[in-house]
Amino acid sequence: MANCSLCGAETTAFICPYCKSVFCFEHKLPESHGCPAFQMTQAPGIIDNEEYEEPEPSRVSRFRPRKKQIQSRSIPYRGSRRKTRFSEREKKDLLIASILVILVSISMMGFGRGGIISAIASLYVLVMSGFWWAPVITSSIFLFSFMAHEMAHKFTAQKYGMWSEFRMTVSGYYLSLIAILFSFPIFGTGAVFTSGTASEDEIAKSNLAGPLTNFVIASILSVVIILAVGALGSPSSSYALYVFIAMVNFGVILNGWLGLFNMIPFQPFDGGTVFAWNRVVWAVLTIGLVFLMILGYLIFPAL
């Protein structure tokens, strides 16, 4: 038995005659796993056809290998810089991921005590106390932070003419289940997969887009807290203001963690590609995310 190179499922050895990789029955055809080698045999004119639907990549994700390896795996054409688009498969995966992220955000209201069961009890107390908007804000921050990160990867890659779509992964379902059951903020539902030829700068910028987006979101939420305290006074003066600032501050911490986690300077993290491309950019963004984390954990709670 072997593992499918695309979905990771255990399978009998279906070896692609073009790229020589192992796939399961569902992905054994070159068209099913987006075989880069198979694409080399196709007429380049088909790429200009607006009806052409690019297949999923086999082993090329948004965590791209070094430039030397990219040339051997990438599809040997340069797509046009076309408008953003979503396939039906991607829409379904995004819907599933959104539901799972919202469930994780609800589970976080259990504060690590009992997971989703404890969270439901806390949710009931908040709603009955008139603070129904607190879980709404929390879920919205969770969902927006996750989607903004992933879509930043997708839109940037598409801007540079590459095929790029979000896909749920098998491990994502398991990670989401753990997060929901144990109130752990894991963002592992899926990833943006990308294929196509691109320069080293373009690949690095596509990887940089996700953590940079989280930095921007955390910065904006920090400004919201500062303005709210400046206009309305100390959070201790109003319980509603205290809850609001706590929710927004949670968004600062969440985006800081999400950005920092992805800036780890090793593959397959975004930071691995960014670090190899430009260490100064990597350092500046990482320091900025650490600063926002300090604001979220130490300064804002003391207001």
For residues 220-235, average pLDDT:
82
For residues 7-16, average pLDDT:
70
Backbone φ, ψ for residue 192 (5° rounding):
-90, 120
The distance from CA 137 to its chain's CA centroid, rounded to whole angstroms, is: 20
**Residue 24, pLDDT above cutoff 50:** yes
Residues pairing with 191 in the sheet: 167
Q: So what's the pLDDT on residue 121?
A: 78
Cα–Cα distance between 95 and 84 in angstroms, integer?
18
Domains of the chain are 1-37 (4.10.1110.10), 85-302 (no CATH)
Cβ–Cβ under 8 Å, residues 97 and 146 = yes
Higher pLDDT pick, 122 / 254 = 254
| C-alpha distances in Å from residue 251, one per residue of 163, 223, 290 | 31, 12, 14
Cβ–Cβ under 8 Å, residues 38 and 58 = no
Q: Of 99-103, 212-216, 233-237, 258-262, where does mean pLDDT reach its minimum?
A: 233-237
Q: So what's the pLDDT on residue 112?
A: 53
Q: So what's the pLDDT on residue 34?
A: 64
Residue 37 CB neighbours (<10 A): 18
Cα–Cα distance between 209 and 119 in angstroms, integer?
33
| C-alpha distances in Å from residue 40, one per residue of 18, 119, 196 | 9, 52, 12
Nearest to 262 by CA among 215, 200, 195: 215
pLDDT in tens, 74-125: 333 344 444 567 888 899 999 999 999 888 888 877 655 666 777 787 778 8
Q: So what's the pLDDT on residue 110?
A: 63
Q: So what's the pLDDT on residue 150?
A: 92
pLDDT in tens, 168-210: 888 888 888 888 887 776 666 888 888 877 888 999 999 999 9
For residues 39-67, average pLDDT:
41
pLDDT in tens, 111-164: 556 667 777 877 788 788 887 887 888 889 889 999 999 999 999 999 888 888
Q: Residue 247's pLDDT band (boundaries 50, 70, 90)?
A: confident
**Residue 67, pLDDT above cutoff 80:** no
Q: So what's the pLDDT on residue 44?
A: 41
Pull the structure tokens for residue 64.
């791209």
| C-alpha distances in Å from residue 282, one per residue of 67, 140, 149, 239 | 18, 28, 17, 39
| C-alpha distances in Å from residue 217, one per residue of 114, 141, 206, 249, 262 | 30, 10, 18, 11, 15
Indicate yes or no: pTM above 0.85.
no
Cα–Cα distance between 60 and 90 in angstroms, integer?
17
pLDDT in tens, 255-276: 999 999 999 998 888 999 999 9
pLDDT in tens, 283-294: 999 999 999 999
Q: So what's the pLDDT on residue 272?
A: 92
**Residue 215, pLDDT above cutoff 50:** yes
Residues pairing with 192 in the sheet: 166
Q: Is 11 helix (H, G, I), strand (E, B) or coil?
A: strand
